[in-house]
A = this chain, B = another copy of it.
């Protein structure tokens, strides 16, 4: 049904391969024949079949994006950056939600490879076991990992500067005069949250804090933040400031603080991490570490595109993007 190269060739009285060349404008083709071809293609409303082209060239002009859940605004932002960059280069991206389930993750990877994607963008693969990681490493297409510790794996990585961010948050709070500061982190296996904690602790060492900082671990979610904070209020009444490992935790923390009849920032200062859109909207507006999510998606795709050309697996690239503190109204000077 759809019109093919052969149809255009027939209509313009030249050979099919001439049509191919004329349409793509690679080789020299006589101006007049090219003209004829273009007209015929236009008239017949010719649309190249990218599947066929993909088979012939071995490149699908498609990238795979595996995130845990696109409903997480963090990943939505990354996805948008990735999609824009891909689109600009003529690529498109197929979206997969893994829910952080290793099996689901591998199923998607295999499926994408069968589709011959030219590159794979996924969040950290820390939850994959050795053989699975091996399989990935040897799959033949470039892979870039989001929020993975650079250099640990054989893959390229793009991440925000978590250590610097943690340090920034800690130093800011200390600079405001706080002396008893708590940190609400995620589960210990979350590499990026661990890095934020590390940075924070480093800042604490350099600061005139009176007590060793309290660090609480839990789920890195709104709910988790809520629960950690209830525990905190209960057990550590002297704390005057808290640094949350991410904004979701911070939102939960604020909720818990308000519910306990105390107020932010009068009684307790809080700073988050990520700078989700919501951070500016919530009351009080949240002071937080901005992570360039859109740019991270973008950077990841650019790496992929750069490496997709080479048939030899290229050396992994590692980008760590700068973060900055966005001051709003959830902290006060002591």
Residues on B with C-beta less than 8 A from A51 are: 51, 54-55, 60, 115-116
Distance in Å: Cβ of A60 to nearest Cβ of chain B: 6
Given contacts A1-B140, A51-B116, contact A84 B110 (CB under 8 A): no
Which stretch from A73-81, A208-216, A227-235, A322-330 is at the chain B interface? A73-81
Rounded to whole angstroms, the CA-CA distance of A54 and B97 in the bound complex is 23
29 contacts between A and B (CB under 8 A): A1-B140, A47-B110, A47-B113, A47-B114, A49-B116, A50-B114, A52-B55, A65-B95, A70-B76, A70-B83, A71-B73, A71-B277, A73-B73, A73-B76, A79-B95, A83-B95, A83-B97, A84-B97, A87-B96, A92-B95, A92-B96, A92-B111, A92-B112, A92-B115, A93-B95, A94-B94, A94-B95, A258-B283, A281-B282
Which A-B residue pairs are the 6 nearest by beta carbons?
A95-B95, A50-B114, A71-B76, A94-B94, A51-B54, A50-B115
Residues on B with C-beta less than 8 A from A110 are: 47
Rounded to whole angstroms, the CA-CA distance of A48 and B113 in the bound complex is 9
Q: Is the CB of B92 within 8 A of A93?
A: no
Closest to A90 in B: B111
Rounded to whole angstroms, the CA-CA distance of A52 and B60 in the bound complex is 11
Q: A222 near B: Cβ within 8 Å?
A: yes
